Amino acid sequence: MSAEAEEVAHDTVEAAVRAQLAKAFGGVRGIIEAAVPTIAFTLSWILSEDLKLSLIISVTLSVLLLLVRIIQRSTPQFVINSLIGIAIGAFFASRTGDAKDYFLPGILWNAAYMVGMLISVVARWPVVGFLIGSVTGDPTAWHKDPGIVRLCTRLTWLLMLPCAVRVAVQGPVYLFGGGDEAVAALGFAKIVMGWPLQVAALGAMLWLLGRGRTPIKPPVAPA
């Protein structure tokens, strides 16, 4: 769909952002596909304490999920994203021999996202605003409207919150935890604070979006 067509379909900022957010989530299937490899790795490590076996099981499951997507000719985007993260985690853990390091890339990734979004808010160029720009075809025009900037700032805070919670909880466990307990805690936290927390943030964003109707373009003054 062209930018012009999307703009016609979404005449308010709230409708445009809701549509763009929907594209960014993989639904129930995406949630399951993201969680299964982590659950498999955590359970395998707890039961066997064999790092190599746990990594093989986790990566193999991710590849199988990707093959199913390809065979069904459905979008593999969410599986690929998950597979990349799992592969990086597997690389870290295999290099150090410490199962905790399987979770380190995710913690660093969330920290980077959190810092990036925080900088965008402080600079008054909240990242959610660029979702509107992708609809209107002008990536920066939204910034001229103070009302849209305020709305996008609130939405960016909500989008950043899950990243901040993950870092605040998982970071200390990674730094100070040890043994099977730390791996189990990190695995549990990654699952609970993954898609469930993201969906909760999305729900809060949709609630906020449902309260207003901000025109994408300001009304044209009569001649």
Domain containing 75 equals: 3-209
69-117: per-residue pLDDT in tens? 899 888 777 778 778 888 888 889 888 888 899 999 999 999 999 999 9
Q: Is 222 within a domain?
A: no
Q: Is residue 152 part of a domain?
A: yes
Tell me whether residue 147 is in a domain: yes
Residues 33/82, Cβ–Cβ less than 8 Å: yes
Do the domain assignments include residue 218? no
* Secondary structure (DSSP) of 154-215: HHHHHHHHHHHHHHHHHHHHHHH--HHHHHHHHHHHHHHTTHHHHHHHHHHHHHHHTT---B
Please report whether residue 111 resides in a domain. yes
Q: How confident is the model at residue 142 (pLDDT cuts 50, 70, 90)?
A: confident
Q: Residue with structure tokens 């597997």? A: 90
What φ, ψ does residue 61 adopt, rounded to 5°?
-60, -40
φ/ψ of 28, rounded to 5, equals: -60, -40
Q: Total domain count for the chain?
A: 1
